[in-house]
Amino acid sequence: MIDLSPLVRRLAGTPLYAWAQTLQAQLDAKMEKGHGDLERWQGALNALPDILPSRVDLKNDFILHAECDEATGQQTRAALMGLSPWRKGPFDVFGVHIDTEWRSDWKWSRVSPHLDLVGKRILDVGCGNGYYQWRMLGAGADSVIGVDPNWLFFCQFQAMQRYLPDLPAWHLPFALEDLPARLEGFDTVFSMGVLYHRKSPIDHLLALKDCLVKGGELVLETMVVEGDVHQVLVPEDRYSQMRNVWFLPSVPALELWLRRAGFVDVRCVDVSTTTIEEQRSTEWMRYQSLSDFLDPNDHSKTMEGLPAPRRAVIVGRKA
């Protein structure tokens, strides 16, 4: 059982306290239903050795330091491998380098310079395995709650939390839709890599706004296309082999969506094309990756002939 009482204590005196008190029952019910692989992943978590980090770096990278012998290193590596595939990272755990599919540190270095997270109570929607949650703490956040319905990512988060039990980061295996309406308690809400999976993007923006305090900041990262305020790509079928991609707006269209959803001071702080160096197969993620999803003769197109993945980071404030 995962004990959420430290989270409840942390949220005492905030607008999120009433919600926090309901979370243990919601989590226990969800864990009760579980997932077919949960027992195997739990086995991998149990196989992690007990090690006390001598130093933790979350500001510049994710690195846990400790002196450990070769056998302990091997044990750590085998247990973490048992939680493959690893998509977001990298993580350095007592000398074991988890070379994840994504260089999420590159994305973080594009996003973080535009934000002041010091002392902020943060919600990360679609947090994956929690990589950014740790980096947000490294940037001075007060506390970070991540929600993501994927059970493997939840277990990968538990692997890191095992070595950082006192840090104010929590991962809840829930979808954004599982949160109550009008939480209105977070200073900053992140939604990175989620909007293009939503059939109703404006509803997603409204739901994110509902989680923020008045004046709170939204950090939205999503795939975009080039073009003016009237341009939005809706793929006929797959996009970059993904079946669940719905809306890829231009940056001006996306900014308009945010304004219509009630955000002010909306601005785009970064646009970048995703490269095959940033997203690739590794020994920790052995399935196909970006280079397999692009036109082999022209990397400016996906294999479906659509513009290759390009991502924008937009920030805005709840009015």
Indicate whether 276 belongs to the interface with ligand SAM (CB under 6 A).
Answer: no
Q: How far is the CB of 260 from ligand SAM (least distance, A)?
A: 21
Q: How far is the CB of 310 from ligand SAM (least distance, A)?
A: 14
Burial 33-47 (b: 16+ CB within 10 A, else e): eebeeeeebeebbee
Q: How far is the CB of 196 from ligand SAM (least distance, A)?
A: 8
Q: How far is the CB of 301 from ligand SAM (least distance, A)?
A: 20
Q: Which of residues 179-218 bind ligand SAM (CB under 6 A)?
A: 192-194, 197
Site string for ligand SAM, 132-171 (x = CB under 6 A): ---------------xxxx--x------------------
Handedness of CA 170, 176, 181, 184 (dihedral sign): positive
Q: How far is the CB of 154 from ligand SAM (least distance, A)?
A: 10
| Run of H or E residues at 18 | helix 17-33
Q: How far is CA 202 from the centre of its chain?
A: 20
* Cβ-based nearer residue to ligand SAM, 193 or 201: 193
Indicate whether 90 belongs to the interface with ligand SAM (CB under 6 A).
Answer: no
Indicate whether 125 belongs to the interface with ligand SAM (CB under 6 A).
Answer: yes
Determine the 3-state secondary structure of 201 from DSSP. helix
Q: Taking CA 129 as the corner, what is the angle to CA 7 and CA 295, rounded to the nearest 5 degrees? A: 155
- Decide if 143 contacts 172 (C-beta within 8 A): no
Q: Measuring CA to CA, how many Å separate 192 from each of 33, 102, 170, 223? A: 27, 13, 17, 9
Q: How far is the CB of 176 from ligand SAM (least distance, A)?
A: 4
Q: Of the listed pieces 92-100, 126-134, 253-261, 269-277, which binds ligand SAM according to CB under 6 A? A: 126-134
| Run of H or E residues at 26 | helix 17-33
**Which position among 175, 232, 256, 276 is part of the footprint of ligand SAM (CB under 6 A)?**
175
- Decide if 310 contacts 273 (C-beta within 8 A): yes
* Cβ-based nearer residue to ligand SAM, 88 or 120: 88
Instruction: Please give the residue ranges that form the binding site for ligand SAM (CB under 6 A).
Output: 88, 104, 125-128, 147-150, 153, 175-177, 192-194, 197
